[in-house]
Amino acid sequence: MPAKQLDRQRLERYDETTDEYTLAIITDEDHASQIELEDGQIAWQSTLRYDRLYRDLDPASGRVRYRMAEIPREEGGEHQLISLIAESGRGAEFSELVLFGERLITFDDRTGLVCEIRHKNQLVPRHILMTGSGDEKFKGFKSEWATLKDDRMVVGSHGKNAQEAWIKLLDRQYTLESVDWQRHYQRIREALGVGEQGYVTHEAAEWHPYRRCWIFFPRKISATPFVEDVDERERGGNTLVMANADFSEMETLEIGERVPERGVSSFKLVPGRTDECIGLKSVEIGDHTETWLFCFDLDGNVLQEDTFIGHYKCEGVEIL
């Protein structure tokens, strides 16, 4: 019997009897990530936190609710990840987490660095992804979302322009393939009714191996051109996009109430319950940042209202 593909393995680690999970959540703190080590060396830092997630079922109504509980720092609930690799004075801006087999992988959206996380606080560099096809410019790929499809890891970017419309495919040996996805990103724009002047910003996507569909949860959706202060305060989206494997069929679904300053920065299918999802929403207005956690299902039901995590920007979540 052939080995089960990695995308299914990832979602079959638990079954429908599981009601307690451990979350890993990682920060992307942009300019604030730079630190000085005890020996005077400049480095870049990200926080990796661990939390508990519980699934409750009301026996009378059949209603499902999720709730989160923090693991205290002194019990191993928070760790610092240190990187010595930067681009233009910036690094450790980790934008996603994904389990790739037994390996927990994170992605620096500034340098293009792909790292394994070992022993909860050790970064092991495995690849550096370059922008676009990888041939045009000496600049790190702005990794923003990642998932598994079959036996490969798929890493994507914002999709707002031609360079950010490429995806990266990595196999178990980290062999790299770059694929131009401009047509697919354009189909998402069309499904959302965004015209020539508007834009869609992506930071959260999953491949659903049982439904054989792509699920995108755009962070920002705008029918008008980009204006930074308007984007920060007004363009957060609550519309999920589901597309079949070749993006020829699309549907959209609104999840909960839209809060204009909050945009989805990561979400994951819950192993064993793959019609249920956990996600993060980020706020970034000038120097002010926040992160909120929420849960929902693919019928559009909210299973946990937005729950405040902290005054920092978290852009990656994974269920361990």
Give percent of the chain above pLDDT 90: 93
**Is-contact 6 151, C-beta < 8 A?**
yes
Q: Which residues lie closer than 8 Å to 309 by C-beta, 6 or more apart?
A: 25, 280, 290, 291, 292, 293
- Residue 1 in this model has a pLDDT that exceeds 60: no
pLDDT of residue 2: 65
Whole-angstrom distance, CA of residue 297 vs CA of residue 280: 14
Residues 6+ apart with CB under 8 A from 79: 47, 48, 49, 120, 121
pLDDT band at 163 (very low <50, low <70, confident <90, very high): very high
Both tokens assigned to 227: 């204006």
Residue 64 CB: number of other CB atoms within 10 A? 17
How confident is the model over 224-252, as pLDDT tens digits? Answer: 999 999 999 999 999 999 999 999 999 99
What is residue 84's three-state secondary structure? Answer: coil
Task: Report the topology of domain 6-319.
Answer: Neuraminidase (2.120.10)
Least confident span in 22-31, 149-158, 194-203: 22-31
pLDDT of residue 204: 98
Return the structure tokens found at 267: 């979400």
Q: Can you give the pTM of this predicted structure?
A: 0.95
Beta bridge partners of 107: 114
Paired strand residues for 277: 269, 296
Question: pLDDT per residue over 141-150, tens digit each?
Answer: 999 999 999 9
CA 296, 147, 271, 104 torsion: positive or negative?
A: negative
Tens digit of each residue's pLDDT (9 = 90 or more) over 68-100: 999 999 999 999 999 999 999 999 999 999 999
**How many Å apart are CA 24 and CA 4, to the nearest integer?**
24
Domain residue spans of the chain = 6-319
